[in-house]
């Protein structure tokens, strides 16, 4: 049986690498072709094009790296590519790092690794960077790391919204810390939602703090936060 061959990138996407102004394809043509392949989930072809471009001594820019990252589905590939660009002295920008972080949703340790690597390269994580990392860490129930991220955002003067606090509330934090976090939300003038209150109520119920449960139920009424089914089952 004949070996199966991968389709040619230039044929499958309908985009050709025509000679540029200097008689060879330029980075713009490579990037457009990689973007076309990425839309068809042909990440193998995207990597082939990227390696072919580097072999032609065409230096990759941040937009090109971002296009490659966007084509990946397995998170391992995104992290491996992110590391390889650093070894090749190709410095990714914030957008490329954020694309890597978005693919690490279920890998909180990898998310923190990418976030920590941004600072030595003088890249300042933005609100998207911290949001992706917070969601990954929060879903893994690692509340100390969530608190560290919240502190880092405050030090970077990045405004926190209800989404960032919710990641912390979802991380099975001790009830006393949840109360402190709820107080910080009020100090920051961020209105808690029903998910936040449900987390507090559940933690207080687990700690047999029923008076606090009644207090926060009244608090919800005062703030016009509508309870849901979960609220009444706590």
Residue among 81, 93, 84, 91 nearest 38 (CA)? 81
CB-based contacts of 130, cutoff 8 Å, min separation 6: 115, 149, 152, 153, 156, 158, 164
pLDDT category of residue 90 using cuts at 50, 70 and 90:
low
Average pLDDT, rounded, for the chain: 79
The verdict on 157 and 184 lying in the same domain is no
Q: How many domains does the chain have?
A: 2
Do the domain assignments include residue 15? no
Instruction: State the Rg of the chain over Cα.
Output: 23
Mean pLDDT (whole number) for 218-225: 94
Domain identity same for 89 and 167: yes
* pLDDT value of position 182: 92
Tokens found for residue 140: 């893994």
Hey, what are 103's tokens? 């693919």
Residue 192 shares a structural domain with residue 162: no
For the residues 91-118, what does the mean pLDDT come to? Answer: 78
User: 192 lies in a domain?
Assistant: yes
Q: Residue 164's domain spans which residues?
A: 76-173
Q: 129 and 87 in one domain? A: yes
103 shares its domain with 165: yes
63: in domain: no
Looking at 173, 204, 224, the residue that finishes a domain is 173
pLDDT at 45 over 60: yes
Q: Looking at the structure, do residues 145 and 234 belong to the same domain, yes or no?
A: no
12 inside domain:
no
Query: For position 17, what pLDDT does the model report?
Result: 55
- Higher pLDDT: 121 or 36? It is 36
Report CA torsion sign: 148, 152, 158, 159.
positive
Give the model's pLDDT for residue 103: 72
Note the pLDDT of residue 73.
64
Q: Per-residue b/e over 57-81, b at no fewer than 16 CB within 10 Å?
A: ebebbbebbbbbbbbbeebebbbeb
**Model pTM score:** 0.61
Q: Are residues 169 and 100 in the same domain?
A: yes
User: 5-21, pLDDT tens digit by residue?
Assistant: 434 444 444 445 555 54
* Contact in structure between 139 and 107 (CB atoms under 8 Å): no
């Amino acid at each position: 049986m004949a070996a199966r061959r991968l389709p040619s990138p230039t044929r499958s996407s309908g985009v050709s690498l025509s000679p540029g102004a200097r008689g060879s394809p330029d980075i713009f043509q490579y990037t457009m072709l990689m973007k076309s392949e990425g839309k068809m989930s042909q990440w193998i072809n995207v990597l082939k094009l990227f390696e072919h471009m580097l072999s032609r001594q065409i230096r990759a820019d941040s937009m090109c790296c971002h296009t490659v990252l966007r084509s990946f589905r397995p998170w391992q590939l995104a992290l491996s590519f992110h590391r390889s660009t650093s070894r090749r002295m190709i410095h990714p920008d914030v957008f490329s790092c954020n694309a890597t972080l978005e693919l690490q949703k279920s890998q909180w340790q990898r998310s923190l690794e990418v976030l920590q690597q941004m600072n030595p390269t003088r890249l300042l994580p933005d609100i998207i960077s911290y949001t992706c990392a917070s969601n990954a860490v929060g879903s893994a129930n690692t509340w100390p790391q969530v608190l560290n991220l919240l502190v880092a955002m405050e030090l970077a003067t990045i405004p926190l919204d209800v989404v960032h606090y919710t990641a912390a509330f979802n991380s099975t934090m001790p009830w006393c810390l949840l109360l402190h976090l709820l107080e910080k939300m009020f100090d920051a003038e961020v209105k808690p939602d029903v998910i936040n209150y449900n987390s507090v109520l559940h933690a207080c119920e687990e700690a047999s703090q029923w008076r606090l449960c009644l207090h926060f139920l009244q608090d919800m009424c005062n703030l016009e936060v509508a309870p849901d089914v979960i609220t009444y089952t706590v």
